[in-house]
Amino acid sequence: MANNSAALDSVFQALADPTRRAVVQRLGRGPATVGELAQPFAMALPSFMKHLGVLEKTGLIRSRKHGRTRTCTLEQKNLAAAERWFADQRSLWASRYQNLDSLLESLNGEERES
């Protein structure tokens, strides 16, 4: 559990940055070269490569070099872990809201009976 928690923490930390979120979003449409990924951002390539390094270290992306071209792809495994965490939270809170709704309905019914 602690290892899963650490992996999830690193995914959320990586996705906390808007540049990295944009890269993940773009790679959701398919593989892209580093040049294609860097093009929309007004930063030097070494700075952009640091963002890719963070994403690669957390396992959100993978890159392969073919000649002089590095192509990145999205890795679904760690992203799926974050999605499962959100789904679990959504389910937990939906249940809590349903319990609250039931309590309020019963209290409202008691007021009408009085």
- Encoding tokens for residue 49? 């490569």
Burial class of residue 33 (count of CB atoms within 10 Å of its CB; 0-12, 13-18, 19+): middle
Task: Summarize the confidence of residues 4-21 as an average pLDDT.
Answer: 91
Burial class of residue 107 (count of CB atoms within 10 Å of its CB; 0-12, 13-18, 19+): exposed
The full set of domains in the chain, from first to last, is 2-113 (1.10.10.10)
pTM of the model: 0.74
pLDDT digits (tens, 9 = 90+) for 94-114: 878 888 888 888 888 777 766
pLDDT digits (tens, 9 = 90+) for 18-62: 999 999 999 999 999 999 999 999 999 999 999 999 999 999 999
d(CA 108, CA 85): 34
